[in-house]
Amino acid sequence: MMLIDDLFEMGSGYVLNFSDRTFAQFVAEELNIDIDDPVYATNGTSKAKRLHCFLQTVDKPTAARTLTALWEYREALRQRAGREETIINATPCLRPGDVPASAGTS
């Protein structure tokens, strides 16, 4: 999960630039899932902890869709800001359809 933490700037419980409201809205719109469901808060209520729990709970196709949606959002933010990629080999690390071994254990 360290790569996911780095890619999606999940230090201190954050996920990218999302507020609690916009994160819940993003996940609902992109995946039709309620990330605020208490089942995803077993390790805590921060966005990062809920996302970790979610990725470890759902099936691999759902984890892949989630990571792809977050990746596309991240890339749009990065490109809009004109920022260079700061994570070495980030693009080959997570491509649509790729799922880290620790995600989606079901």
Residue of higher predicted confidence among 13 and 97: 13
Q: What is the pLDDT of residues 47-92, one digit of tens each?
A: 999 999 999 999 999 999 999 999 999 999 999 999 888 877 666 5
Quick check: 15 and 47 in contact, CB under 8 A?
yes
Quick check: 7 and 95 in contact, CB under 8 A?
no
Q: Show me where the domains of the chain are located.
A: 2-93
**Structure confidence at residue 9 (pLDDT):** 92
**Structure confidence at residue 105 (pLDDT):** 45
CA angle 17, 24, 86 (to 5 degrees): 25
Look at residue 96 and tell me whether its pLDDT is greater than 60.
no
